[in-house]
Amino acid sequence: MDANRLRFWMLSQLNDWLPPWRARTAYVTGQGIVDSNGNIQIVQTQTGKPPGQSDAAPPTWNPSMGQTTKDGTIVWMNSGPGVWGPGQAFAVGQYITDSNQNLQCVSQVIGNATTGAAQPSWPVAINQTVADNNVTWTCAGPSQAGLSYCNQNHRLELRSVRTGKAPAEDYNAATVLVGTVPMALDQFGTYARWDQSSGIIYAGGAGPGSGSSAAPPPDEVPIYAPPQHTVTDMAMGYDGIFYIAVGGALILSDRRNRWSDFTLTVPDFNFWRLAALPEGGVLALDSRNNQLGTVSGQPLQTGPVDQPDPGILRSCHPNPDPPRIVSRFALPAGEHFVALAPLDPTQQPAQFVLLSWASDSATNQTAWVRIFSGTAFTGTPFTGTPLQLEGVRLPYAIAGLGDQKLAAFVTNYNEALIYDLSNAGNALVPAGETYILGSNAAGNGGPFVHGFSLPPNYANVAGAMPVMLPLLPLSLNSLAASGATIAAGPAIVDSGAAQSIWHRMFLEAIIPARCGAIVWLAASDTQSDLFSPSCTWYPHIFGSASLSSIPTAMLADTPSAVWQSIPTEVAFAPTLLGEDPIANQQGLFMVLIQRANKAVRNLAGRYLGVRIQVNGDGRNTPEIAGLRAYASRFSYVQNYLPEIYREAKFGPAADADGPSTRRDFFERFLDLFESQFTRIEDRVANAYLLMRAESVPDGSLDWLGSWIGIQPDSYPPDRLRARIEATPYLYRWRGTAQGITKALDVATNGMASRGAIIVIENFRLRHLFATILGADLSIRDNPLLPGYSASSNSIVGDTLFLGDPRIQAELQALYATNLKIPGSAQAVQSFYDQFANRITVFVHNQVENVNLNLVKAIVEEEKPAHVQASVLIATQPLMIGLASLLGVNTYLGPDPPRNTATVGVSDVGRYDVVTHMPALDPRMENGASYIEYDRPIARIKAPIAVKPGDPILLDGSASSKSPGATITSYVWTMLEPPA
């Protein structure tokens, strides 16, 4: 059989399953895409021979339903989805969302193609129709808005959606909170906050009774008082500098005390909001002039006064990198920008999110976010439509949660709204994750604290303790009840042959209890038939699927999938799900492809259309990792049994509704046995995969390696696989420097190729003297002489000495005293013997971590028995005196990090440096003010038993505390049950 494998990553991840527009792509009449405005566009007509082709650049889409857009040789029609209205005209192929949240497609019109005076009784079963005056609607199933493709685990699942009413936002309160100065948090847990009443920035977290979770009152110290100006923002930088926006200027306060506070003033830039850049500096928002600016550079370190000699050439600017704005980015003038925050501090390159209102007024109805990568706006083009936050009007704070998720605060609401960017179109819908704010911060908490790690913290209300709270989720999901793809965008599988009989379908999925899926299939030899509203789709049930969308006539005969005990039907292949099978819930599911309620159940056609409908219980969701369909069917009846058992009905007789023929039933009955034999045959046919390094399971690598003499447990699993693959090459060069280098390269995942490990034959270390004595250095792979030397006795470098005997004599005379080179050949040979049959392996472990034990073991295994090997650690990337050995003891790579010196660990004059700790609270390094307190111990009292339906009351009053301390609050966390 030909395996036609369909994986969900082949389908669009934008707007769920309906694919986006693509340049220079062939499209057929009836095929659909989703445009940049989120509308469904259907191919209405095409010029020339089909299929039509799109243009090189996207067209300007007509946003009005029923209007067309020209694109290359294609004419697209905007098909909605729209809203039903009385007496409204529709065209074939247009969609609406009915009162049941199902999609209804216009399949036929007559006369003026207008709807009736009242809504019809909408059908809920797919393919069922209803007449509406001069329009005939066909049910296309639930709206696909409930589906989501998870980029993290690569599975199709139900979307997380928020339930409940929209928050009642207050413009005045939001305006006050927008102007509130965020707190700053450093890497050591100390914080800084602006006190408006005193005009002073206080720091805390390092003294007794301070910290983000301490009891009141906090022990804080003043660290900065701006002169007659108001602070608008402050952020701790990755470079140890505390950045403060004061009265439109930017203050740089070095927490290592390398210089005095520096003020950066730019006439046409008003510093208002700040976000630290991982490479150093800050990204600044100017909300007055609507622009972004990247600030880089540092003042010169304060030190002894230098009185240069007037005769010494010096730079006119002693500071090559002063603080300055190095780049600017204009923002739309009509919007009101309210917040700037990092999207994910761990992502490279760093991304930031900008929050704005369409207008600064109480009547504002729209909020936008833009993603900024540090050098440009990403996602939708900045000149195009930004991402709209649905469900809110006046959000006042925003923060990144990691995994492309955002949290937003709105007024009069005691939880954060969560938005997922991973599968977003132009609009962001609130997700169903629950992030309840602390009891003291209920309603108007925040804003978010500028920090370095996740989860983000937010400021508690004034006067409440602790001063900041972490934003943590509850273990409570809220998922869409259902979701489905639509007929305009089915996935297409091409068997390559006309009238292929589609045989069997496999699904790798997790299907919890009370959850299920229906896979709808259709087949035709003409691809455009699969996009027609009149195309008939046949259901296949997985798990506890909702059956309301299946027509009554098909329901009794609809096939149901069965769970398989094997992880995948593809012999010896890894699974897409990546999970161990659990009976009837998790793993591989199989179903025979067939047409329900047909006399002959075979589904035939070159092209197979696939649509899927998923349902859950609101708390759990099916997770589909892969779907595979096989064609064409190898029939046991056709190949092994007499003709009397073969199907005799064809054409319209085979397509008639009703029970199946006896011969068709017998064919499907034999397929039960065929499935077991096929599984056995596939494993036998693919047994060779167990003897290939590329496909052998990890557990069998030692067994396969033992065939060719590789010792077990000498390599990590991934490197052992690479070692087995490289064996033919290594054996050809075994015992040579090149072979040892390749073996090390394979074992260390390319460190020899990158220069972290260098293998040198010691005789090459005498390259100067070898030239004097006429040795042949014309070797292409000599690491000391990059390139090729044409002369047989020459030094390749800044100066070229050819093999002239007079030059040799002069050089011998220069080095004769130190080298003690006599005139006899025996002494020369003795000098050579000091370097012969020896190799040295240089390991640069300062830049990359190298397993020295593995390197030594491989060198001993691969070198000849008569060769002496030594492994040396090149601790310095560049050593004076050996600089000529470029690439040997000099390793071109990133600068090693300058870590803080540690007593008893660091060496003086090496990579670690003695420096101040860049903490916001200056008492962090002062041991005298730091007191270690015993942590409180939580003790919970719970009832022995409760009646069904009664609440479970937990009492934490028995918790203990350290002497002199007071328990002021209790934080309850629901833990996951042990595995």
CA separation, residue 255 to residues 42, 246, 400, 739, 925 (Å): 60, 18, 26, 52, 12
Is 50 exceeded by the pLDDT of residue 13? Answer: no
649 & 583 share domain = yes
3-class secondary structure per residue, 196-243:
CCCCEEEEECCCCCCCCCCCCCCCEEEEECCCCCCEEEEEECCCCEEE
Q: Is residue 360 assigned to a domain?
A: yes
Measured CA to CA, the distance from residue 535 to residue 527 in angstroms comes to 11
Mean pLDDT for 482-494 is 81
pLDDT at 824: 52
625 & 735 share domain = no
Q: Is residue 315 assigned to a domain?
A: no
Measured CA to CA, the distance from residue 802 to residue 816 in angstroms comes to 20
Q: Is residue 68 assigned to a domain?
A: no
731 & 753 share domain = yes
Torsion of CA 148, 151, 156, 162, to 10 degrees: -30
Q: Which residue has the higher pLDDT, 542 or 783?
A: 542
Is 80 exceeded by the pLDDT of residue 867? Answer: yes
pLDDT at 363: 92
> Looking at the chain, how many residues does it have?
979
Is 80 exceeded by the pLDDT of residue 827? Answer: no
Mean pLDDT for 951-969 is 75
Q: Is residue 605 assigned to a domain?
A: yes
pLDDT at 217: 53
Tens-digit pLDDT profile for residues 41-79: 888 877 776 678 888 888 888 888 878 899 988 988 888
pLDDT at 449: 94
Tens-digit pLDDT profile for residues 657-669: 999 999 999 999 9
User: Lowest mean pLDDT: which of 85-94, 292-301, 346-355, 759-768?
Assistant: 759-768
357 & 484 share domain = no
Tens-digit pLDDT profile for residues 787-807: 444 443 444 443 444 444 444
The two three-digit tokens of residue 138, written as one number: 């066909």
Burial 787-824 (b: 16+ CB within 10 A, else e): eebeeebbbbeeeebeeeeeebeebeeeeeeeeebeee
Mean pLDDT for 488-510 is 91
Q: Is residue 437 assigned to a domain?
A: yes
417 & 371 share domain = yes
Do residues 183 and 448 make contact, with C-beta atoms less than 8 angstroms apart? no
Q: For residue 484, what is the enclosing H or E element?
A: strand 482-484
Mean pLDDT for 397-410 is 91
Question: Please, which residues have CB within 8 angstroms of residue 444's CB and are 6 or more apart in sequence?
Answer: 173, 177, 411, 412, 461
Tens-digit pLDDT profile for residues 240-278: 999 999 999 999 999 988 899 999 999 999 999 999 999
Domain boundary, last residue among 685, 717, 738:
685
- Quick one: what percent of the chain has pLDDT higher than 70? 80
449 & 503 share domain = no
Do residues 417 and 365 make contact, with C-beta atoms less than 8 angstroms apart? no
Is 80 exceeded by the pLDDT of residue 887? Answer: no
pLDDT band of 771, cuts 50, 70, 90? very low
- Quick one: what percent of the chain has pLDDT higher than 90? 34
Closest CA to 76 of 47, 48, 100: 47
Closest CA to 366 of 379, 354, 355, 357: 357
Tens-digit pLDDT profile for residues 18-41: 567 888 888 888 787 877 777 788
Mean pLDDT for 168-194 is 92
Q: Is residue 905 assigned to a domain?
A: no
pLDDT at 309: 76
Angle at 742 between CA 740 and CA 748, to 5 degrees: 100
Q: Which residue has the higher pLDDT, 92 or 881?
A: 92
Is 50 exceeded by the pLDDT of residue 15? Answer: no
- Residues spanned by the domain of 215: 171-301+320-470
Q: Which residue has the higher pLDDT, 842 or 517?
A: 517
Do residues 146 and 157 make contact, with C-beta atoms less than 8 angstroms apart? no
330 & 216 share domain = yes
Alpha-helical runs (H) found in 16-75: none
pLDDT at 66: 79
Is 60 exceeded by the pLDDT of residue 811? Answer: no
CA separation, residue 120 to residues 7, 133, 446, 671 (Å): 38, 9, 49, 44
269 & 360 share domain = yes
Mean pLDDT for 500-516 is 95
pLDDT at 927: 43
Domain boundary, last residue among 408, 438, 470:
470
628 & 651 share domain = yes
Question: Taking the CB of residue 40, how many other CB atoms lie within 10 A of it?
Answer: 27
Of 26-40, 519-533, 708-722, the range with the highest mean pLDDT is 519-533
458 & 490 share domain = no
Q: Is residue 77 assigned to a domain?
A: no
The two three-digit tokens of residue 939, written as one number: 């003790």
Q: Is residue 133 assigned to a domain?
A: no
User: Lowest mean pLDDT: which of 81-90, 98-107, 878-887, 890-899?
Assistant: 878-887
Of 414-428, 446-460, 831-845, the range with the highest mean pLDDT is 446-460
Domain boundary, last residue among 470, 501, 530:
470
Is 50 exceeded by the pLDDT of residue 882? Answer: no
Alpha-helical runs (H) found in 350-431: none
pTM of the model as a whole: 0.71
Q: Which residue has the higher pLDDT, 756 or 527?
A: 527
Please give the tally of structural domains in the chain: 3
pLDDT at 477: 79
Is 50 exceeded by the pLDDT of residue 500? Answer: yes
545 & 661 share domain = yes
CA atoms within 13 A on the CB side of 157: 25
Is 80 exceeded by the pLDDT of residue 401? Answer: yes
* CATH number for the domain that contains residue 272: 2.130.10.10
Q: Which residue has the higher pLDDT, 887 or 110?
A: 110
Is 90 exceeded by the pLDDT of residue 624? Answer: yes
Q: Which residue has the higher pLDDT, 944 or 222?
A: 222
Is 90 exceeded by the pLDDT of residue 698? Answer: no
pLDDT, mean over the chain: 81
Of 254-263, 346-355, 470-479, 929-938, the range with the highest mean pLDDT is 254-263
Mean pLDDT for 683-704 is 88
pLDDT at 924: 80
504 & 652 share domain = yes
